[in-house]
Amino acid sequence: MVELNFERRIAAAPERVFAWLTDPANLAAAPMTLRAGWAKNSPPPGVGAVRQVVAAGLWVREEITGYDPPHRYSYRIIRSVPALGHHGGTVRVTPAGDGAHVDWSTAYNIPAWAGGGAMNALTAPLLRWNLGSVLAACARELER
Whether residue 106 contacts residue 88, with contact meaning beta carbons closer than 8 Å, is answered with: yes
In 39-129 the beta strands, taken as DSSP E runs, fall at: 50-55, 58-68, 72-81, 85-96, 99-109
Look at residue 48 in the predicted model and tell me its pLDDT.
98
Q: What is the 3-state secondary structure (H, E, C) of 20-35?
A: HHHCHHHHHHCCCEEE
The predicted model scores a pTM of: 0.94
Whether residue 48 contacts residue 64, with contact meaning beta carbons closer than 8 Å, is answered with: yes
Look at residue 80 in the predicted model and tell me its pLDDT.
95
Number of domain units in the chain: 1
Look at residue 124 in the predicted model and tell me its pLDDT.
94
Domain CATH for 19 = 3.30.530.20
Structural domain harbouring 16: 2-142
Whether residue 14 contacts residue 69, with contact meaning beta carbons closer than 8 Å, is answered with: no
Residues 108-122: tens digit of each pLDDT: 999 998 889 999 999
From the list 95, 105, 112, 96, the residue with the least C-alpha distance to 75 is 105
Ranges of residues in the chain with a pLDDT under 70 are: none
DSSP assignments along 33-51, one per residue:
EEEEEEPTTPPSSSTT-EE
